[in-house]
Structure 1
Amino acid sequence: MNSSLVGNQSGRPFCLLAISYLETINFCLLEVVIIVFLMVLIISGNIIVIFVFHCAPLLNHHTTSYFIQTMAYADLLVGVSCLVPSLSLLHYPIVLSESLVCQIFGYVVSVLKSASMASLACISIDRYIAITKPLTYNTLVTPWRLRICILTIWLYSCLVFLPSFHWGKPGYHGDVFQWCANSWNTDPYFTLFIVVMLYAPAAFIVCFTYFNIFRICQQHTKEINERRVRFSSQDGEAGEAQPCPDKRYAMVLFRITSVFYILWLPYIIYFLLESSNVYSNRVASFLTTWLAISNSFCNCVIYSLSNSVFQKGLKRLSGAICASCARQRVAKDSSTSRSKRSSNGCHV
């Protein structure tokens, strides 16, 4: 960030949110609370999503489940990586230098969120192909091609942010580290490179595909309803309007994508302003960064609340866990009762 973000010169801990520092506590309280809270939500939420996908075979019938699971694993790793700034804010001793840890953390989180963004773009392409070419979909989208696509997502994400070690600060700030805030500046050309290579193509693909998906679904719904009304009038029965069967699933993915870009938009705007030296503020840097990271939790919440098959899988998983706990409790109670009977028999 710019040199206006001065370092720690008074012996106090380096805190981006000045209001979080307390004289009786030698660490950044508010930053730690925010990051740890998000870390717990992200890790627990995405673990549940991954378990539900493994326990609900119906979810794996959709090829988009490959990309959704990829997104869940990437978001889970984002939550795990949040442990690094938490330890830094708690002044936990780290073997590596602060500059190296800061750069590695910024690179890793940028790669993981890039994988999430690319997965959303691939999901929209997959749904677009399924609706526009339903007869040839199974021949176009095969498991082998899906694996190649997922591998390409990860390789592309790693390569896009690789120049950040020498070119400038990547898309995600590690400004909880003092070296990142004071010495690792954003570069306008690198920012333009990331926008052109990642943000803009992903946004264009998502907007183009979902616009056409909803347009096609509306057209199909209109045609189906017209045919239903025509045949119902001939039979003397009242026809009911039926929605496009793919529209509901597309709406779930559209909500996930919309929330993704809504949470990312403040950060992208700030990233562009900072890299062009128009505006720089440590509080805005922290809040926009972790607002974008919170999307790693929102994905699993939206999917669990919007997809009926996922809800059934979640109920099945929770029911299996409750049944297992009940069996363990019964087994424990029975073993306790047997031990009591045996001990009583020894005294007789």
Structure 2
Amino acid sequence: MTMESLEGAGLCFPQLNSSCKIPKRPYTETMLINVLLSSISMVTVALNLLVIISISHFRQLHNPTNLFLLSLAVSDLLVGLLLMPIEIIYIDTCWFLGDIVCTLYYVVDYTITSASVANMVLLSFDRYIAICDPLHYPTKVTKSRAEICVCLCWFGSVFYRILLLNDHLEQPGRSISCLGECVVVINYIAGAVDLVFTFIIPITLIIILYIRVFVAVVSQTRAIRSHIAAVTVQGRRVSNVKKSEMKAARTLGIVVVVFLICFCPYYSPILAGQDISVDASSAAFEIWLAHFNSCLNPMIYAFFYPWFRKSIKLIVTLQILKPGSRDAKML
């Protein structure tokens, strides 16, 4: 082997001097990372697919709240089905799909992430109205309004992300330093805007709604218990109501904590006054942690509901293939 071939052996494009070097990791480390990330991807797809099938199939689950949950599951499914596999493939190899596909990948990535966050906010508003204003909930949160909100959520996410990545769409590959990588660098100003609209505002809204829900649950429970504490049977009913409402409040609290844990590392450069550099061909820990939120969302939202556990049994045992299964009692 000649000296030139030895020098070019570790490059993505050996014939070009501007080529990136092929990422190298120990074989054992590479295998462990691939197995772990592939498992996360498959679990993400499986869990969100179960949520989607459950809500779409059973008529009793066709309500505004589950429509928001369905939209969230679709965004999280796309993370596990489209984004995670690409990142797994390019952990220890070069990007060979070109600059245009690289930019489109990030547009899709950011759009799905934004839609997921927006769906979480919609769910928080839905539960806030259901608990704090239950008498007007049927008129305020209708199926048609929920459908409009979901559509606005997705269209808004697409428009916002195209606007944010407009420079990269006009000039694909502007952030790339060598051939064979897929990198997008978001400057501090654009990153700060993204931080506000995708992180600070949603989290602030969710926290405020969570606090108001918690206060409402406590005050309602105390008021009811003060009136009927002497009646044992009714007291048990109040206890059940309290448990149900506290479970909803606790769910929102878990969502806030998990979302913060998953997204804080990604936005830490902006918080430190630096540009955000996102590299699909390196599968950075921050990206995977943010995407891992899509695996946790169905666990947080769905596993808190008995109807989901029941629907899993019907799906796994293929009972949903029987005539009339759509009308099964799930609630």
Residues 1:112 and 2:150 are matched in the alignment: no
Change (3 A) 1:303 1:280: closer
SS state of the match for residue 179, structure 1? coil
Instruction: Work out the CA distance in 2 between the residues paired with 1:316 and 1:285.
Output: 37
Cα drift, residue 31 of structure 1: 5.2
Question: Could you tell me which residue of structure 2 aligns to residue 260 of structure 1?
Answer: 259
SS state of the match for residue 86, structure 2? helix
Gaps of 5+ in 1: 1-7, 325-348
Residues 1:136 and 2:165 are matched in the alignment: no
Letter in 2 for 1:158: V
Which shifted more, 283-292 or 304-313?
Answer: 283-292
What does residue range 29-178 of structure 1 map to in structure 2 within 5 Å?
29=31, 32-61=34-63, 63-81=64-82, 82-89=84-91, 96-97=97-98, 99-167=99-167, 178=180
Deviation string, structure 1 residues 275-322 (Cα, Å, up to 9, x no partner): 615999999971111011111111122334321221122222223359
Instruction: Work out the CA distance in 1 between the residues paired with 2:234 and 2:199.
Output: 48
SS state of the match for residue 162, structure 2? coil
Structure 1 segments (4+ residues) deviating >6 Å: 13-17, 278-285
What does residue range 1-348 of structure 1 map to in structure 2 within 5 Å?
11=10, 20-22=25-27, 29=31, 32-61=34-63, 63-81=64-82, 82-89=84-91, 96-97=97-98, 99-167=99-167, 178-181=180-183, 184-231=184-231, 239=235, 242=239, 243-244=241-242, 245-270=244-269, 272-273=271-272, 276=274, 286-320=284-318
Cα drift, residue 47 of structure 1: 1.1
Which shifted more, 239-248 or 79-88?
Answer: 239-248
Cα drift, residue 84 of structure 1: 2.7
Change (3 A) 1:149 1:304: closer
Instruction: Work out the CA distance in 2 between the residues paired with 1:85 and 1:285.
Output: 6
Cα drift, residue 198 of structure 1: 2.4
Change (3 A) 1:148 1:21: same
Cα drift, residue 51 of structure 1: 1.6
Question: Could you tell me which residue of structure 2 aligns to residue 339 of structure 1?
Answer: none
Letter in 2 for 1:309: W
Question: Could you tell me which residue of structure 1 aligns to residue 3 of structure 2?
Answer: none
Instruction: Work out the CA distance in 1 between the residues paired with 2:8 and 2:44.
Output: 34
Deviation string, structure 1 residues 185-220 (Cα, Å, up to 9, x no partner): 220000011122222211111001111001100111
Question: Could you tell me which residue of structure 2 aligns to residue 344 of structure 1?
Answer: none
Instruction: Work out the CA distance in 2 between the residues paired with 1:276 and 1:203.
Output: 22
Instruction: Work out the CA distance in 1 between the residues paired with 2:176 and 2:312.
Output: 35
After TM superposition, the score normalised by the length of structure 2 is 0.76
Change (3 A) 1:255 1:270: same
Instruction: Work out the CA distance in 2 between the residues paired with 1:168 and 1:272.
Output: 23
Change (3 A) 1:279 1:142: closer
Question: Could you tell me which residue of structure 2 aligns to residue 338 of structure 1?
Answer: none
Cα drift, residue 93 of structure 1: 8.5
Which shifted more, 184-193 or 128-137?
Answer: 128-137
Structure with max Cα Rg: 1
Change (3 A) 1:322 1:220: closer
Deviation string, structure 1 residues 219-239 (Cα, Å, up to 9, x no partner): 11111221222456xxxx995
Change (3 A) 1:265 1:16: farther
Instruction: Work out the CA distance in 2 between the residues paired with 1:52 and 1:103.
Output: 34
The percent of aligned pairs where both chains have the same amino acid is: 22
Instruction: Work out the CA distance in 2 between the residues paired with 1:145 and 1:78.
Output: 26
Change (3 A) 1:180 1:37: same
Instruction: Work out the CA distance in 1 between the residues paired with 2:81 and 2:186.
Output: 25
Cα drift, residue 255 of structure 1: 2.5
SS state of the match for residue 181, structure 2? helix
SS state of the match for residue 318, structure 2? helix
Change (3 A) 1:151 1:139: same
For these two proteins, the number of residue pairs brought into alignment is 299
Gaps of 5+ in 2: 1-6, 13-19, 170-174, 323-331
Deviation string, structure 1 residues 76-100 (Cα, Å, up to 9, x no partner): 1111213333444475995x41x22
SS state of the match for residue 68, structure 1? helix
Instruction: Work out the CA distance in 2 between the residues paired with 1:302 and 1:84.
Output: 26
CA RMSD, Structure 1 to Structure 2 (Å): 3.9
SS state of the match for residue 11, structure 1? coil
SS state of the match for residue 306, structure 1? coil
